[in-house]
Amino acid sequence: MFVNPSPDAGRVDFFESGGHSMLLLRMAAWIKSEHGRDLVLAEFLKQPTLDGLARCLDGLAASPDVPVQSFGEGPRTIVCVPGSYGRALAFERLAMALNERTDEPVRLVCYELWNTVERLGVHGAIEAVRARLRDDLVRPEVAGVAGYSLGGMFAFLEDFAADRPGLHLWLIDSYPPIPPRSRWHKAMRAALNACRAPMTLPGALAASVGSRAPSQSAGDGTALANSDHPDRWSLHHRLGELARTPWSGETTLIALRRKPLWMPHYTPASMNGLVSLVGSRATRVSVNGPHTELLKSRVEEVAGVLASAISPRSNA
Neighbouring C-beta atoms of residue 17, cutoff 10 Å: 13
Domain final residue, candidates 12, 36, 58: 58
* Same domain, yes or no: 278 and 149: yes
Per-residue pLDDT band for 229 (boundaries 50, 70, 90) equals: low
5 and 128 within one domain:
no
Cβ atoms 89, 299 nearer than 8 A: no
- Residue 186 in contact with residue 161, Cβ under 8 Å? no
Query: What's the predicted TM-score (pTM) here?
Result: 0.71
**Does 88 share its domain with 53?**
no
One domain for residues 128 and 187: yes
Q: CA 73, CA 304: separation in Å to the nearest integer?
A: 18
Note whether 46 and 99 are same-domain residues.
no
Per-residue model confidence (pLDDT) at position 192 = 66
Q: Are residues 249 and 121 in the same domain?
A: yes
- Looking at residue 11, which CATH number applies to its domain? 1.10.1200.10
On whether both 46 and 154 belong to a single domain, the answer is: no
**Residues 30 and 125 grouped into a single domain:** no
111 and 257 in a single domain? The answer is yes
Query: Which residues, listed in sequence order, are joined to residue 146 by a DSSP beta bridge?
Result: 80, 170
Which of 18, 35, 58 marks a domain boundary? 58
Tens digit of pLDDT for each residue in 231-243?
888 888 899 999 9
Count of domains observed in the chain: 2
Distance CA 231, CA 237 (A): 10
- Give residue 305's pLDDT: 95
Look at residue 168 in the predicted model and tell me its pLDDT.
96
Same domain, 108 and 239: yes
Range of the domain at 37: 1-58
Average pLDDT, the chain: 79
Lowest mean pLDDT, pick from 18-27, 171-180, 222-231? 222-231
pLDDT of residue 285: 95
pLDDT in tens, 104-151: 899 999 999 888 888 888 888 999 999 999 989 999 999 999 999 999
